């Protein structure tokens, strides 16, 4: 499929294009820019995702042809694969460990200078140790203007000029230690990406027809197509997202859900890429392949998450940048009035920028990493901020407050010639090749009761209605009441009282027709999650003011469930399209909304809410559009995500107040001559390191 692009403007060395792929919500512009910069003749690329535009600078106008050819064929899968080599992708994670060379160099100079008497040798050692910082500061002055690094370099330079080598080396050592701590934290946070984006499975076995016979064929995993039957045996990694159609196996899902206990997978169960078959053998119907698998999407999400800045982070950066000229101005004024280089050096070291800029992103990254290891995929700092401020939680009932898996609770035959077991076997025989929650529940119940397959003719599936087939020349119809009674004209009047009684209890019924008559009904239920009520109560304790349940059930059934959970606000008998509208209503009322859902029809609501949360067994589109994707099937994870967000923002707010308060005192002390350069360096850098360590420790 070719992408759409439009050349908006061009000159001999510059061109701007509108590019359709930029509309993808989770496309990382850093990955795209790096990929395009590799084009021969291109000197630089600037991506504006909000405007869906890309600006190229190049050596020759002829390069435009190569650019346009690239834009027409580029896709998400190519971008993701380009990230496998960290050397060519600035957004990808480096395996390189943070270096201690800077700390060793600065510390050696600090200690060694104390034992040297010769001033020339002291100056040489100190200058050599500080040289990398002085060079970096000089470069940054010309490339970015006045920054904290420029001030730090100036402070060290002035101390060397004043022959205050102790102050210069102390400052240098503290700064190197702070930088090492930041790099270590970022490296540990990014370990999550490396853990989840395991090397792709290179080869896989699939079932294929060869010379009229079904056989197993080894192919490259990139050649797997939707609908292929993939065979995964003991010790192998699942290469696709799909459903088990045959076999049984113990599957380790720790890389995706954080749960160490293996899970038994059998027919009808969903499996996700990146998980490992520990024991057994599965045949999997491939539903999502290539870049659409959970592993690849998660890899892409985290790349965005670790680079995204929230509004509070941007606020901290903006404030830090504004305060740099203030610090420089105070230093200049102080020197004009006092002619005291020592006081000037002290002021230059009392800078807000380090603590403001470093502690906040480190706190966010620590939380994203911690959440990921707990089976909660938070897609960026903005999601944490939105989740913290959310005061209204809207739950789509099915699959969130309930298990999302129907269970047969009773079978009732209306024909004395048919036992309950025979009725169940007939239904299961017809439904066993149909991937649907109702079909799975019926087949599971039949197997638990000694399933005996009943021969039938080819099954016809009628979408949103049910199935039809023939047994012994007689028609079998299974599905909804509307399908049997209205469409197939089967008489329900004889059993109306029994049916109405079941419906009044809020039960879900599957109707079975045979030879033109209503043969019986199978009662199913989607049970409430055991910890749903506890989770609702915990959300209220965390400051959530409004909890709302949405459902397509009748109001009577919805009320029964809501009363059991202690939810007072219910919207029932809803069409799928109404959910996003309801979310918008609450937003228009000024509420901060979190929406929790799992179905394909939940995607608009997940996008509309301030923060969307998708359940682990939900549709792929729900996970793609959500801000928080749960990788473990537990409603308590919603509460855990809220707790992490609250704790993180509290930590950041405390760090922010401490930074401004402590550094203001240090700056005032340096300005009035109370603190020497060494004291200022220790106080300022000690504060920065303390706040970084606090952020690394992160939320409890």
Active-site amino acid positions = 396
Is residue 283 within 8 Å of residue 244, measured between CB atoms?
yes
Token pair in block for residue 246: 């045959």
How far is residue 349's CA from residue 356's CA, in Å, rounded to a whole number?
A: 14
Cα 351 vs. chain centroid, distance in angstroms?
35
> How many CB atoms sit inside 10 A of residue 173's CB?
24
* DSSP labels, 223-286: G--TT-EEEEETTPBP-SEEEEEEEEEEEE-HHHH---S-EEE-TT-EE-TT-EEEEEEEEEEE
How far is residue 62's CA from residue 51's CA, in Å, rounded to a whole number?
A: 25
| Nearest alpha-carbon partner for 360 in 651, 700, 645 | 651
Which residue has tokens 């200022």? 680
What is the per-residue burial (b if ≥16 Cβ within 10 Å, else e) of 478-517?
A: bbbbebbbeebebeeeeeeeebeeeeeeebbbbbbbbeee
3-state secondary structure of 288: strand
User: What are all long-range contacts of 459-464, with beta carbons under 8 Å and residues at least 24 apart?
Assistant: 459/430, 459/433, 459/434, 461/434
How far is residue 494's CA from residue 511's CA, in Å, rounded to a whole number?
A: 14
| Nearest alpha-carbon partner for 206 in 238, 159, 160, 252 | 238
The torsion angle over the Cα atoms of residues 145, 149, 150 and 152, rounded to 10 degrees, is: 160
Is residue 535 within 8 Å of residue 380, measured between CB atoms?
no
**Rg from Cα positions in the chain:** 32
| Nearest alpha-carbon partner for 202 in 82, 74, 81 | 81
3-state secondary structure of 553: coil
Which residue has tokens 């390189």? 96
C-alpha torsion sign, points 425, 430, 434, 439: negative
Token pair in block for residue 61: 């106008």
How far is residue 457's CA from residue 518's CA, in Å, rounded to a whole number?
A: 20
Cα separations in angstroms, 490 against 415, 457, 495, 502, 624: 15, 21, 12, 19, 43
How far is residue 680's CA from residue 330's CA, in Å, rounded to a whole number?
A: 15
User: Three-state SS string across 574-596, please?
Assistant: CCCCHHHHHHHHHHHCCCCEEEE
Q: Which letter does DSSP use for residue 552 in this model?
A: S
The torsion angle over the Cα atoms of residues 424, 429, 430 and 432, rounded to 10 degrees, is: 110
Token pair in block for residue 334: 């102080």
3-state secondary structure of 497: helix
How far is residue 109's CA from residue 246's CA, in Å, rounded to a whole number?
A: 68
Token pair in block for residue 656: 């922010």
How far is residue 460's CA from residue 313's CA, in Å, rounded to a whole number?
A: 57
C-alpha torsion sign, points 524, 526, 530, 532: negative
Which conformational region is residue 515 in: left (phi greater than 0), alpha (psi within -120 to 50 degrees), or beta? left
> How many CB atoms sit inside 10 A of residue 564's CB?
12
How far is residue 644's CA from residue 661's CA, in Å, rounded to a whole number?
A: 26
């Amino acid at each position: 499929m070719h992408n759409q692009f439009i050349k908006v403007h061009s000159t001999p060395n510059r061109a701007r294009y509108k590019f359709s792929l930029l509309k993808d919500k989770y496309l990382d512009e850093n990955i795209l820019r790096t990929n395009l910069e590799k084009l021969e003749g291109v000197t630089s690329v600037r991506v504006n995702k909000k405007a869906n535009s890309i600006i190229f600078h190049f050596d020759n106008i002829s390069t435009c042809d190569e650019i346009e050819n690239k834009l027409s064929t580029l896709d998400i899968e190519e971008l993701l694969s380009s990230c496998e080599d960290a050397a060519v992708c600035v957004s990808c994670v480096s395996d390189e460990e943070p270096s201690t060379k800077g700390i060793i160099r600065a510390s050696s100079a600090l200690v060694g200078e104390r034992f040297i008497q010769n001033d020339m040798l002291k100056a040489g050692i100190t200058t050599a140790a500080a040289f990398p910082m002085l060079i970096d500061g000089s470069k940054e002055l010309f490339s970015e203007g006045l920054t904290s690094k420029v001030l730090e370099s100036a402070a060290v330079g002035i101390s060397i000029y004043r022959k205050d080598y102790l102050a210069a080396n102390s400052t240098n050592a503290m700064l190197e230690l702070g930088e090492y701590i930041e790099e270590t934290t970022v490296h540990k946070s990014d370990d999550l990406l490396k853990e989840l984006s395991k090397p792709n499975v290179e080869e896989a076995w699939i079932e294929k027809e060869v010379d009229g016979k079904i056989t197993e064929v080894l192919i490259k995993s990139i050649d797997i197509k939707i609908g292929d039957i993939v065979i995964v045996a003991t010790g192998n990694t699942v290469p696709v997202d799909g459903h088990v159609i045959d076999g049984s196996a113990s599957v380790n899902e720790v890389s995706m859900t954080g749960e160490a206990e293996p899970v038994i997978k059998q027919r009808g169960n969903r499996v996700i890429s990146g998980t490992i078959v520990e024991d057994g053998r599965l045949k999997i119907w491939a539903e999502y392949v290539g870049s659409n698998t959970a592993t690849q999407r998660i890899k892409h999400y985290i790349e965005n998450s670790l680079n995204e800045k929230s509004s509070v982070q941007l606020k901290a950066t903006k404030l830090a940048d504004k305060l740099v000229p203030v610090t420089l101005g105070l230093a200049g004024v102080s020197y004009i009035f006092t002619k005291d280089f020592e006081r000037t050096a002290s002021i230059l070291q009392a800078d807000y920028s380090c603590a403001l800029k470093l502690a906040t992103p480190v706190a966010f990254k620590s939380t994203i990493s911690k959440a990921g290891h707990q089976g909660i995929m938070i897609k960026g700092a903005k999601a944490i901020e939105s989740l913290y401020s959310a005061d209204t939680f809207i739950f789509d009932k099915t699959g969130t407050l309930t298990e999302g898996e129907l269970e047969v609770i009773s079978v009732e035959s209306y024909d004395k010639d048919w036992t309950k077991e025979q009725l169940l076997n007939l239904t299961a025989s017809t439904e066993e090749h149909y991937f649907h929650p109702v079909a799975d529940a019926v087949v599971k119940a039949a197997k638990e009761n000694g399933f005996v397959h009943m021969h039938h003719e080819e099954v016809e599936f009628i979408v949103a209605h049910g199935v039809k087939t023939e047994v012994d020349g007689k028609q079998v119809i299974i599905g909804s009441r509307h399908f049997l009674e209205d469409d197939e004209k089967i008489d329900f009047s004889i059993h109306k009282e029994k049916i109405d009684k079941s419906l009044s209890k809020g039960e879900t019924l599957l109707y079975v027709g045979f030879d033109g008559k209503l043969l019986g009904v199978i009662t199913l239920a989607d049970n409430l999650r055991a910890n749903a009520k506890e989770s609702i109560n915990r959300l209220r304790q965390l400051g959530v003011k409004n909890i709302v349940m949405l459902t397509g059930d009748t109001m009577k059934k919805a009320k029964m469930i809501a009363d059991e959970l202690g939810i007072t606000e219910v919207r029932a008998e809803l069409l799928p399209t109404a959910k996003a509208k309801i979310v918008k209503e609450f937003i228009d009322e000024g509420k901060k909304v979190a929406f929790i859902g799992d179905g394909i029809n939940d995607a608009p609501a997940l996008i509309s809410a301030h923060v969307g949360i998708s359940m682990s067994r939900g549709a792929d589109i729900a996970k793609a559009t959500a801000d928080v994707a749960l990788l473990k099937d537990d409603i308590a994870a919603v509460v855990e995500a809220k707790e992490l967000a609250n704790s993180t923002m509290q930590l950041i707010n405390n760090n922010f107040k401490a930074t401004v308060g402590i550094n203001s005192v240090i700056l005032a002390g340096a300005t009035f001559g109370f603190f020497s350069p060494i004291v200022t360096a220790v106080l300022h850098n000690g504060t920065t390191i303390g706040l970084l360590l606090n952020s690394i420790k992160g939320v409890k």
